[in-house]
Structure 1
Amino acid sequence: MKRILAFTLALLSFAVISLHAGSDRIIQLNQLPKAAQLFVTKYFAGRTVSLVKEDREFSGTTYDLTFSDGTEIEFDARGGWKEVDGKHTAIPTAFIPAQITKTLQASHAGDAIVQIERKGRGYKVELSSGIEAYFNARLQLVRYDD
């Protein structure tokens, strides 16, 4: 009987945690972590924010911001950017490590960066031509995909 009760309580606790952990909610721009707010005002000044969402999951909290032009930014719990997606439109590059932009300008002049994502110990960059360039943690180009 004790095992059944313990199992039932564990199952109920898991259900409550699951409901809470998977919850998304709409928030205001000023409710983002300060680092995310500064990132938006510095690199995306003048753009209209259409949606800011807080995603709570077991792995932590993330924030998704969408501008009226469709550009999306994902931030981690501390407000650091995880991904910037221009949806096939050029994104600002001032926040991208200079070594990455320099490497891409040298080999793909005129090809705009439309998406960048921090991936594990490196970066994935998508160019307007559809080419994806992968950089390691030392900002060295390691491979291409198309």
Structure 2
Amino acid sequence: MGMTNRGIPAGPRRFVIAVHALVWLARSEKMLPSSAIACEVNSHATFLRRVLQALTPSGMVEAREGRDGGYALGKPACDITLADVYIALRAECAETEESGMCGEAGKPLDTLLVAILFDAEQQSIEHLRRFTIADMASRLPVCDLR
């Protein structure tokens, strides 16, 4: 699994927390402090801020500093797909594994595995494109955000 430049896995936990936070922001329709979002999505505020920071360059999340600061959606929830979230978090990953970890003899297998995993990831991304944050929010009961 790739790691971000901060040493945090870019795996499912980051993705799940990001989706929960975006759904919460979509339903709140206002700027919320990270501590409030973290409480609602059952995450540590520092971890949540790192996840949300990864979503700001793409415009999915708007961040404002200061006393009245916090986070809000940067674009309509219907315009944010789960694929967008996955790709934004994936872009934050820095490859930490060395290629050819098994030496010269392992390179053909490494090449094969990379191709298979790339194809699997592309299929997953295509599937995630079918769902938006608005879809996710509309499928939940009003009080059930966790």
The structure with more radius of gyration:
1
TM-score category, normalised to shorter length: under 0.3
Q: Which has the higher contact order (CA 8 A, sep 6+)?
A: 2
TM-score (norm: length of structure 1)? 0.23
Higher strand share: 1
